[in-house]
Structure 1
């Protein structure tokens, strides 16, 4: 009798294993990121963060399972997203352009507060679970069901010194996108688990760019124009790293040192200069403009103004508007 019980136990174990194998083979799933992940409208000089999003879609197909036709099958999906080809550091993912890097991350929520991680890279964050249910079809038939979840991306701010270029991270196969799939209560960790992948690319393009702000040159209130009146202002230029540029001050119909402030038909002659000694006029042609190379940070240029001695026109407020042009 003891020997018969042993043989029976072996037969039951074998039948259970065959049933598990049949269920695993009857389930197949595919996954994809339904839209490209591109940080569009990126102006790195503003220093602000930039957001993007996509949707992860998973579709599962179920064939007929012996003895389970018509039953509702629960499928658990655990989408692991790794660090990508750009790598990561201290839980922050990177986009790469040659040896240059940009920081970004992937999140589970629209507020970008809960990082989306990978079981093999716990520093990146946790792995959310997705579930779907599908009815087991009759023999020789299939049923299909899909589930999707939004995926949120954020390019970190305060990266103004990153040089222009195309930055990218590729998520290709395992372990970058390991979409674990399982049946029933055991979920992704169960005996019937399998996996698929969802390849995608994250990209950001930094174009050459410059911005400019100014501080006016105010000569103040004066009486007779019998001697030099000197004042200064500023031009503040911010250009992307390694971007060469020049800064021109428009002269209109005049020269850099014979500009005119006007009031009705009266005028006052003045000049704008690149140097404190007021010997190098500042205009908008080659040889009269300062040049520089961007650092990603603001670079200041002092505008030296002078009203030379001249006949004093009628009293009043005289002004001129000068166009500042940054060419890069």
Structure 2
């Protein structure tokens, strides 16, 4: 039987150290594996808006990222809300499902100068960088600032809704001791040495608003018949009512019978004496303007000022008693 001698390594310590370095050098390729996800995507509700005024609101999209053992890492995340239905950015749009559209937009800053576009658009990237620890997930709040600009022709009928729909979350990450990835890294899917990048989709919540049926009387001028020494002929004069109603709002405007009516006749009064007169919808003085829906003025609002002349007539009097005659008429706008 022969005994074959086995050669021993010349430097066992160096061999062990060499193997250990290989293990450590391979460690970052596992440690930087990373994922982020949207854990909250809220609905944006503007509530009731006035079409003549700008309306702002805000909401928050929350992204959760986990820094990995043993050191954590640098993460830059960026979001891209979809265009949805109806499509478009600058402006985005809501619809009331009756053919009307309401413009709005989403912004990355409170001053509302940085538009949020869909992925692949020309708008600046909305990116946030953090250093994520290894022990617990790190949340990244993306504050969204939303605006409906004023001056739109907006029918009041039906609620407006928009849905940005399928949206994109992208992220790029790297080792903790290096600078965080840039916004462009995040957008392009590039990353620093020993890092990586990823992407996921999320559903952006609905965007909604309501235009209330609203009307406003802006002007109601006095009707002055002037002075007369006798009333052996009719005296005619007119005044003006100006009003505005939201587009699509059905309205009726009526005039009261005043403070001194008798048998359906309007009358001005002076120290217990009366002077009959009447108010009309038309310059021919054929259609009395009354205090009921059937005898008032009616139409549908178009979100613009509309002027209505009020035509008045004082009837001939055989021998009116001198005095200063007056009456008060209440204008009622129903919608």
- TM-score of the superposition, structure 2-length normalised? 0.77
Tell me the distance in 1 between the aligned counterparts of 2:333 and 2:190: 63
Match of 2:118 in 1: 118
3-state SS of 1:283 partner: coil
Match of 1:157 in 2: 150
1:181 pairs with one of 171, 190, 194: 171
Match of 1:77 in 2: 77
CA change 1:264–1:53 in 2 (3 A) is farther
In structure 2, C-alpha distance between the alignment counterparts of 1:152 and 1:92, rounded to whole Å:
14
* Two-structure CA RMSD over aligned residues (Å): 2.7
Matches within 5 A, 1:1-328: 19-20=28-29, 23-24=32-33, 26-34=34-42, 36-44=43-51, 47-64=52-69, 69=70, 71-88=71-88, 91-98=90-97, 99-122=99-122, 125-137=123-135, 143-173=136-166, 177-184=167-174, 185-186=180-181, 187-188=185-186, 189-190=189-190, 192-196=196-200, 197=202, 199-226=204-231, 227-252=233-258, 254=261, 258-310=265-317, 311-316=319-324, 318-328=325-335
**1:207/1:60 CA distance change after superposition, 3 Å:** same
What's the CA shift for 1:225?
4.1
CA distance in 1, matches of 2:246, 2:56: 20
Residues 225 and 82 of structure 1, relative CA distance in 2, 3 Å threshold = farther
Q: Tell me, in whole angstroms, the C-alpha distance in 2 between the residues paired with 1:256 and 1:272.
A: 15
- Alpha-carbon separation, structure 2, partners of 1:321 and 1:149: 58
| Partner Cα distance (2:209, 2:75) in 1 | 35
How many matched pairs? 293
Q: Distance in 1 between matches of 2:134 and 2:236?
A: 88
* SS in structure 1 at match of 2:126: coil
**CA separation in 2, counterparts of 1:294 and 1:27?**
53
Q: Is the 8 A contact 1:232 1:304 kept in 2?
A: yes
Distance change (3 Å), C-alpha of 1:241 and 1:157: same
Question: Structure 1 residues 245 and 254, CA, compared in 2 at 3 Å: closer, same or farther?
Answer: same
Compute the displacement of 1:256 (Å). 10
Q: Quick one: distance in 2 between partners of 1:21 and 1:203?
A: 44
Distance 2:272 2:77 in 1: 79
Larger Rg: 2
